[in-house]
Amino acid sequence: MRIIGNIFWLLFGGLEAAIGYFTGSLAMAITIIGIPWALQTFKVGLLCLWPFGANIEEDESSTGCIRIPMNIIWFIFGGLWAWICHVFFGLLLCITIVGIPWGKQHFKLAKLSVAPFGKKIDLNF
């Protein structure tokens, strides 16, 4: 089910969303100050490519105490809009019984897009 779900996810919008996140990541990486946020955007883009079977885990060691202000800056300058988009599409997909698995993946992406600093993704291929 995981492979079939990911293939349908990629065909019906996941690939476009991942390309959008990767493009935003590249634009932020051009500036030196945007590199930490570019890495987090790339992380969300990776989850957009293969969400079924992936887990989001807390990773306290990677950013330390700086993760709270970094997450606040992230949320103000784009995380809120990413969260709104993923929650909207998650709710839209959950209206139908068939779309519930894909709606759950949007909710997983919404969880990561609110505060990506201090989290890691386990893709479980």
C-alpha–C-alpha distance, residues 93 and 97, integer Å: 8
Residue with tokens 């505060």: 115
What distances in angstroms separate CA 98 from CA 1, 14, 18, 125, one per listed residue? 13, 17, 23, 24
Domain that holds residue 41: 2-122
Query: Do residues 22 and 42 lie in contact, with contact meaning Cβ atoms separated by under 8 Å?
Result: yes
C-alpha 100: how far from chain center: 18
Please, what are the averages of pLDDT over each run of 10 residues along the chain (125 residues)? 88 91 94 92 92 87 79 92 94 92 93 90 81
Residues counted in the chain: 125
User: In total, how many domains does the chain have?
Assistant: 1
Provide the pLDDT for residue 2. 86
